[in-house]
Structure 1
């Protein structure tokens, strides 16, 4: 089954060329089924690129998924045309009264910024708390994990002295977790962050179940016991060239970045990189949609949130 997105969204053409089944809004109105509703809060600067990456991941499922896009505020973007934001994105006030089966909150380039200095910190906290009443399962990516740990558990951010960038090997820690169904015992995933996610600290300060971890990158995948919040500290949605683009951007900015580890063949940036994490990335998103969203959500959207109890520390 397809994902349903606006007819003119740029991602529609890109995914169509990749032979990914995308249903236009005009066609979807003839479907007599109850699709999943997923809200994406896109905090990344290059919003169109991130849209394509996430929609590609959401398409790998037999479920029909209706996607709404959300922006954190109405400030101008240096990387995304205003017309695109006005045509395809909602402000929070436009969706505040809605319920959603699933929500994704992306990362953001804020790894070295203190929470209280983030211009939209109060709003992101409001949205995270709102999601617990209006969303069946929320998936946090990279910086959004830091934000959620602070909002939900009061955990202060931890940072590395140097940016963690590259493709790291992880070990699955549980055998029969649906979120990891189909995963190898060891798998790789890309990271691009200053944030540190120490397993001992997370175990000491939260009730999260940790499903996958890396000796170099720390905790990769964790979730609440009710499946309402899923934490992914890396970027399984990244394209093959995303880390390369970030590396060369930092080079051009004079930041002297380290070469992303385990990414370029022979660790040589002159060699074109290849994605080695794509299969596990697709599995993660399809498992989340199936087991943590579709299997748990209420058939009636208006009932979402009524059967859950808010039990995290604020």
Structure 2
């Protein structure tokens, strides 16, 4: 089944070239299927590349998946134009009234900062707390997993001499 994406999302061309089945919301609403509602909080600097990576995975499921892209309102991206975010992303205030089947929070290249030093930490804490009531299940990737553990249980992160887990260089 396809992943449902916003109209004119640049990732669509890459997905099409890789034969990942997707459709726009306009096409999806004409089907008699309740899509899985997934909200993706994309904290990575290269938002388009990160979108492609997650859409590639979600598009290879047997379910119709409708993805809502979420960005922080408390931090302005230095690597993604504001117009892009305004077109394809929503803020927490715009989605906090909704329920979702799943929340995915990506990593972020802030692993050397203390959590409280991260510009959007307070907003992320609100999202993590909200997810307990409004989201069926959550997936935290890389730094987001550390942030969720710290928020929920006060577990501090520890610097390691080498990368222990995560996404490593590979060939598709």
- Normalising by the smaller structure, the TM-score range is over 0.9
Separation in 1 of the partners of 2:71 and 2:61?
Answer: 25
- Aligned equivalents of 2:52, 2:74: Cα separation in 1: 21
Change (3 A) 1:76 1:129: closer
CA shift, 1:78, in A, is 2.2
Cα offset for 1:77?
2.1
Q: C-alpha deviations, 1:129-173, integer Å up to 9, x for none?
A: 11010111100000001101011111112112x452xxxxxxxxx
SS in 2 for 1:94: helix
1:234 and 2:166 matched: yes
Q: Is the 8 A contact 2:74 2:123 kept in 1?
A: no
Give TM-score scaled by structure 1 length.
Answer: 0.53
2:100 corresponds in structure 1 to: 100
Secondary structure of the corresponding residue to residue 69 of structure 2:
strand
Please say if residues 37 and 101 of structure 1, whose CA atoms lie closer than 8 Å, have aligned partners that are also in contact: yes
23-32 or 97-106, which moves further after superposition? 23-32
| 1:157 aligned partner | 157
Partner of 1:123: 123
TM-score w.r.t. the length of structure 2 is 0.94
Distance 1:76 1:126 in 2: 18
Q: Bigger radius of gyration, 1 or 2?
A: 1
How much is the aligned-residue C-alpha RMSD, in angstroms? 1.5
The answer as to whether partners of 1:74 and 1:91 remain within 8 angstroms in 2 is no
Q: Deviations over 1:48-76 (max 9, x none)?
A: 11001111011111100000000022543
The structure, 1 or 2, with the larger RCO (C-alpha pairs under 8 Å, 6+ apart) is 2
Number of residue pairs matched? 172
Counting only pairs closer than 5 Å after superposition, residues 134-153 of structure 1 correspond to structure 2 as: 134-153=134-153
